[in-house]
Structure 1
């Protein structure tokens, strides 16, 4: 069984976000703002339903899904596209494949030791993010 993704996670590294944002069609002006944001992930599980919140001072994005069930997703506040998403477990990785206007689009979350890894990919560009879990006191471990 994969490690639990649940918790609050603070970003500690963010590689190639600009390339990924260009691939999904984010304007250069919004890219400049987004590159300065400190992201936080809040991941919850309620039975077989996952809720992943991406939180920043500019904009928040929430997705909820059940692994193995395709669903319609509107990426409001990101690139504002309608996509069909399917999230599945592939070993220790929670992987999302999104079909729509953009080719080879999706993401993967997984945990190694005390870090949450997230790869965001679209049209050959990959953004690699790493998060560190916050303690119960609100401090990053």
Structure 2
């Protein structure tokens, strides 16, 4: 069975528990408040034939790009997010994209999945979970 193609532009429609998640990442209070007010847009380019993917998270404050090959570990510079570097692997778990980020914070990673025109994102670190939901732009 073929995997879904995640390509598209998605606008955030809701989020929950983001402040607690950012706190677990040791993000300072002022920056947590700013980040919680942002409404990011995700631009995803997914080439199922090569297994390459690019996820751009765009905000009015700061942008973050993530380019990777599915199933291959790479060094991820999370400087724009929290100043850390980690070893990251993104791979399929069924139809979901699951990211494991190995570094100084335990249990860090995220999961993306599609439901109709919605893109879901669950972010995890130190047992704290935050969720965002995005809707595909026309």
TM-score normalized by structure 2? Answer: 0.95
- For the residue of structure 1 that corresponds to 2:75, the secondary structure is strand
1:100 counterpart residue number: 103
1:12-67 CA distance string (max 9 Å, x none): 01011111101111100101111111110000024321000000000000001001
Structure 2 unmatched runs, 5+: none
Cα distance in structure 1, aligned partners of 2:107 and 2:136: 29
1:42 counterpart residue number: 43
Tell me which of 68, 88, 98 is aligned to 1:65: 68
Shift of 1:77: 1.1
1:138 counterpart residue number: none
Find out whether 1:52 has 2:55 as its counterpart.
yes
Cα distance in structure 2, aligned partners of 1:16 and 1:66: 29
Cα distance in structure 2, aligned partners of 1:115 and 1:50: 18
C-alpha RMSD of the superposition: 0.9
Q: What is the number of residues matched between the two proteins? A: 135
1:130 counterpart residue number: 133
Structure 1 unmatched runs, 5+: 136-141
Contact 1:61/1:76 (<8 A) preserved: no
